Amino acid sequence: PQPDLPETGRLSTVDFVLKYGHIHTTDEGGNPTSYYFTSGDIQRENEDDKPSAKLELVLEGFTDAKHFDPNGMIALYEKGTRNLAAGWSYLKLLGHWQRKHNRAAYVPYLREGEDGNTSVEFGPLITLGISTSFGLFLQAFKEGKAVYDPGDKATLTNGKWTPHARSQFRINLNDVAAIYGEVREVDMRDPESY
């Protein structure tokens, strides 16, 4: 989901990427033609100093999976200040979380081929995540198992900057048990496994 904070003065995607991202490509004259904003532009709270990072990622209002302030947020502060560049209120994240993750199936795939001859094979093992809570997500985030993985971009096209917003939170399949009360693996080839 895209950030919903600050409520006023929030930058457009282009302005945000130009200010906090890094140059990705340049023209022959060395002028920037695209900027990216990625995890390399962010330093997590209590992480060793990352000189290239302009923003610090902070989990506000969180104690543990059962105790957190509903008015809390995942915040991106300008490094060394408390100036909020962007943030996700827990209320916004909770709405997104409930829609997408209460019951989820994680299906692996294998893609092969190129030039129009691509095939995709799904399964056969599927991981089912059952019974989650927003507190488990926040706990996994604090532990670094769930991560903010941005891929925002601004590209110069015909003299105008074009945005591409992609704010997402990810978790490695090996860590998915951190966000569910129950995790089961089923085999599509064996109906008795599900």
Dihedral, CA of residue 183, residue 186, residue 192 and residue 194, to nearest 10 = 50
Q: pLDDT tens digit string along 25-61?
A: 999 999 999 999 999 999 999 889 899 999 999 999 9
pLDDT at 46: 87
pTM: 0.88
Q: Which residues contact 123 (CB under 8 A, 6 or more apart)?
A: 107, 108, 187, 188, 189
In angstroms, the CA 17 to CA 10 distance is 12
What one-letter code names the amino acid at 117? Answer: N
Percent of the chain's residues with pLDDT above 90: 85
Q: pLDDT tens digit string along 56-77?
A: 999 999 999 999 999 999 999 9
Percent of the chain's residues with pLDDT above 70: 100
In angstroms, the CA 177 to CA 60 distance is 23
Q: pLDDT tens digit string along 110-166?
A: 999 888 889 999 999 999 999 999 999 999 999 999 999 999 999 999 999 999 999
Cβ atoms 131, 181 nearer than 8 A: yes
